């Protein structure tokens, strides 16, 4: 009986963790889906958001949930800057993203990630910091779940659902989806491709940095300049699992990964092997269902 309770608790924790993974990957998913660009510096923007939440906590006593809107606003600005700095030259006047342009953006954003990691290490040193915030836990019989994780999971699903509503119900959202499907046709109906691509990228960064702030709830200690080296690959795997450009894909991929890591740890008995399995799941998925788990 105790084993069943342990299993269920781990499963629930895995689902909660999966939600925050999902929102962290969701920003990458949007940019990948709209602009067909993979941002290698994705992890570094998560790191910047986490530091943003940390400094807001130190200076003004904000808890991580309060710093989400601030980080999201910074993300919007960063996204517009990123689009015009890195993507505009490659996307301008093109009808689709070629393999050559893909390599250019891959290498350029990789350079950006080098700059950001080292700038963070120079400014904030490699010391690990964290935000001491825990709103207690929800206890029900043998089950015990952290309340902070529950709030974060709720907000994460809300953010993903909101982005879905925005993309499917508003004019601007529909324009973004049209752009991601067929650029020349978008131009024919009078939509400016540059404007739409910039908005889409900004939205992706906004969600990425909001996710970075939410992630700090799970990291009472663990905010450091190199943290992107773990969360960027996790986001890549999640997006590929769910299928790039599919809005519910990030949630499906995130939950899958969260459950594999938590429940896998219970069965294999080692966290690092659980992580290895979670990463390697990508290979069979790419081989068998390259378009992602979702149809």
Instruction: Report the SS3 class of residue 146.
Output: strand
Q: Using alpha carbons only, give the angle 147, 148, 151 rounded to the nearest 5 degrees.
A: 85
Nearer to other proteins (CB atom), residue 119 or residue 162: 119
Between 110 and 154, CB nearer to other proteins: 110
Least gap, CB of 239 to other proteins (angstroms): 9
Complete DSSP assignment for 64-95 = HHHHHHHHHHHHHHHHHHHIIIIIHHHHTT-S
**Closest CB to other proteins among residues 11, 108:** 108
User: How far is the C-alpha of 129 from the C-alpha of 3, rounded, in Å?
Assistant: 34
How many whole angstroms separate alpha carbon 6 and alpha carbon 245? 35
Cβ 271 to other proteins shortest distance, Å: 9
d(CA 274, CA 253): 16
The helix/strand/coil state of 97 is coil
Count, residues in the chain:
295
Task: List interacting residues with other proteins (CB under 8 A).
Answer: 38, 40, 86, 89, 99-100, 102-104, 106-108, 110-119, 121-122, 229, 233, 236-237, 240, 270, 272-273, 275-276, 279-280, 282-283, 286-287, 290
Q: How far is the CB of 114 from other proteins (least distance, A)?
A: 3
The helix (run of H) or strand (run of E) holding residue 143 is strand 143-146
In the complex with other proteins, which residue's Cβ is closer, 8 or 276?
Answer: 276
Q: From CA 172, how far away is CA 192, in angstroms rounded?
A: 11
How is 237-261 classified by DSSP, letter by letter? Answer: HHHHHH-TT-TTHHHHHHHHHHHHH
Sign of the alpha-carbon torsion through 187, 191, 192, 198: negative
Q: Which is nearer to other proteins, 76 or 274 (CB)?
A: 274
- Shortest reach from residue 178's CB to other proteins, in Å: 23
> From the CB of 183, what's the least distance to other proteins, in Å?
19
Q: Shortest distance, CB of residue 287 to other proteins, whole angstroms?
A: 7
Nearer to other proteins among residue 11 and residue 97 (C-beta): 97
Of 87 and 207, the one with the shorter C-beta distance to other proteins is: 87
CB 12 to other proteins: min, Å: 24
Give the phi and the psi of residue 140 in degrees, each rounded to 5. -145, 105
Pure H helices in 88-127 = 88-91, 99-124
């Amino acid at each position: 009986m105790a084993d069943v309770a342990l299993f269920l608790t781990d499963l629930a924790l895995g689902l909660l963790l999966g939600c925050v993974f999902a929102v962290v990957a969701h920003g990458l998913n949007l940019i990948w889906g709209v602009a067909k660009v993979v941002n290698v510096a994705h992890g570094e923007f998560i790191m910047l958001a986490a530091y943003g939440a940390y400094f807001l906590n130190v200076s003004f006593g904000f808890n991580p949930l309060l710093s989400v809107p601030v980080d999201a606003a910074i993300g919007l600005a960063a996204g517009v800057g990123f689009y015009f700095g890195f993507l505009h030259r490659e996307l301008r006047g093109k009808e689709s993203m070629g393999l050559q342009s893909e390599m250019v953006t891959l290498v350029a954003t990789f350079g950006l990630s080098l700059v950001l990691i080292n700038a963070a290490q120079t400014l904030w040193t490699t010391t690990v910091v964290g935000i001491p915030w825990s709103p207690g836990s929800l206890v029900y019989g043998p089950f015990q779940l952290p309340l902070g994780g529950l709030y974060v999971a709720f907000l994460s699903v809300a953010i993903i659902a909101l982005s879905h509503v925005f993309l499917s119900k508003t004019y601007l959202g529909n324009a973004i989806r049209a752009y991601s499907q067929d650029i020349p046709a978008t131009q024919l109906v009078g939509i400016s491709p540059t404007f739409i691509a910039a908005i889409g990228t900004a939205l992706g960064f906004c969600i990425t940095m909001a996710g970075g702030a939410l992630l700090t709830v799970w990291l009472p200690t663990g905010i450091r300049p190199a943290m992107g080296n773990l969360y960027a690959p996790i986001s890549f795997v999640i997006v590929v699992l769910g299928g790039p450009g599919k809005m519910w894909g990030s949630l499906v991929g995130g939950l899958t990964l969260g459950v594999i890591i938590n429940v896998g740890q219970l069965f294999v008995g080692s966290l690092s092997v659980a992580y290895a399995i979670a990463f390697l799941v990508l290979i069979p998925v790419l081989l068998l269902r390259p378009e992602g788990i979702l149809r």
